[in-house]
Structure 1
Amino acid sequence: MLNLTKRLESGLQLANRTDVVKMKGVVSRVCVTLTAGRSQVFTEEEEDKLSVSLGLSSDEMHQLVTTTLHILHQAAQGTVRPGVLEEHLVVAGLTQDRAEVFGQLWAMHARSILTTLRNQSLAQYQLEDMQWSLQLETATRTRARQARPLALLQLSLSTPGGSTEKENVAVQMDRQQLFQLYQQLEQVQGQLDSLR
């Protein structure tokens, strides 16, 4: 389940140095953050206070949080049972009591974390709205009296995660380009239908 890299090993060593009760608080906070679908676990101020409380540098604190996130993401990706997660962590070098903390909190939060991660979009933007219009180009400098229909699509895109900021994109296509887009969308629809 866990691909043991040097960075993960050093993160596990940091977890072993951290008091078990405080480590439970860190893992719990990461679980709550993943359940809420947020990417930032602690504010900068909270991370500074916590690093002082744990006796870690800010870089070490960041690595501890990143390691915890990585472990929980890997557990979610493999849909691992709590006991199996504990075993893997002990084999990777985490002490038994800290591995039990991960196992207990994973048992409590796994279902909601998995649901949240499944619902998250992999794309940077999501289509909110689409408007279209048909325009007719009747003449150009080089060609007089030529009627050339053009489709203008206006896409309103938003970032996932509840941000109210939207980006508008305008796309102009002639008949051939619009037909190619239609064919590609038909292929996508066919593949989506085959998954059902």
Structure 2
Amino acid sequence: MNTSHLMRRVAAVAAAAVLPVSLGVLAPQAFAEDTDGPFGPGCAAVPAEGEGSLDGMADDPVATAAANNPELSTLVTAVKKAGLVDTLNNAQGITVFAPTNDAFAKIPKADLDKALADKATLTKILTYHVVGERVDKAALADGSFETLQGGTVTTDGSGDSFEVNDTAKIVCGDVPTSNATVHIIDTVLMPK
């Protein structure tokens, strides 16, 4: 009888230990890893499957990854017109603040058409969206970064809410590609 009681007690103690571990209570590191990765309300607009999904974008260089994401088609058109596809795809360890189609739609059509027709202006605008190092969420709280255009972008915020240059909100941040970190933004940044 004592053996049976002891066995039940050992089983109960084992179950009490296993349950919290399986729920992440005793293993906070495993639980914390689930919260890393892309963040922001705009991540829901990224396709759930396929090459344009968050997982699909991680396999490709940044310009190719953007081309597969329907939310970034206007940006991709601009990158192609500026002749920057190979430059972006071959760069290593960069960050791209990628304006959505809606961000480009905020620009009056005549102004957008004029910029798209002027390769020098377009290149200046687009390279202002690219930082020559990887910038992840941890660096966004109070950041200042030199762009490939030669200007500076600033970031500020906390939690899952960050802004760039006090004008653009990051709607889906920390999106990985094979050569870059992408922060999808809701406004086109304009160099000074």
Question: TM-score band (shorter)?
Answer: under 0.3
More strand as a share of residues: 2
More helix as a share of residues: 1
Higher relative contact order (CA 8 A, sep 6+): 2
Give the structure-2-normalised TM-score.
0.25
